[in-house]
Amino acid sequence: MALVPRALGWAQDGDVDIVQNDARLRADRITLFFSGTSGAPATPGGAAQPGLGSGDIERMIAEGEVYYIRPSQDARGDRAEYNVAQDSVTFTGNVIVMSEEGLTRHGIPRSRAVQVLASASRSEQPFGRENGDVALTRATTLEAYAQASVEPRDIDVVEVHDAFSIEELLYGEAMGFCKPGEAAAELEAGAFDIGGRHAVSPSGGLIAMGHPLGPTGVGQVAEVVRQLRGEAGVRQQPNARMGLTHMVGIGPVCLVHILRAATA
What pLDDT shows up at residue 9? 47
Residue 93 has a pLDDT of: 58
**pLDDT value, residue 193:** 97
- DSSP annotation of 113 reads -
pLDDT value for 11 = 52
Q: Are 262 and 242 spatial neighbours (Cβ–Cβ below 8 Å)?
A: no
What domains appear along the chain, each with residue ranges and CATH number?
A: 2-94 (no CATH), 112-260 (3.40.47.10)
Residues of the chain short of pLDDT 50, as ranges, are 1-9, 37-53
- How far is the C-alpha of 175 from the C-alpha of 170, rounded, in Å? 9
Kindly report, residue by residue over 29-56, the tens digit of the pLDDT: 888 887 764 434 333 444 434 434 456 7
pLDDT computed for residue 204 by the predictor: 92
- H/E segment holding residue 88: strand 88-92
In this structure, are strands 199-200 and 242-249 parallel, antiparallel, or unpaired? unpaired
The per-residue pLDDT for range 91-130, each reduced to its tens digit, is: 665 677 788 888 888 788 888 889 999 999 999 888 778 8
- Helix (H) or strand (E) run with residue 59 in it: strand 57-70
Q: Quick one: pLDDT at residue 162?
A: 92
Q: What is the pLDDT of residue 16?
A: 79
pLDDT value of residue 10 = 54
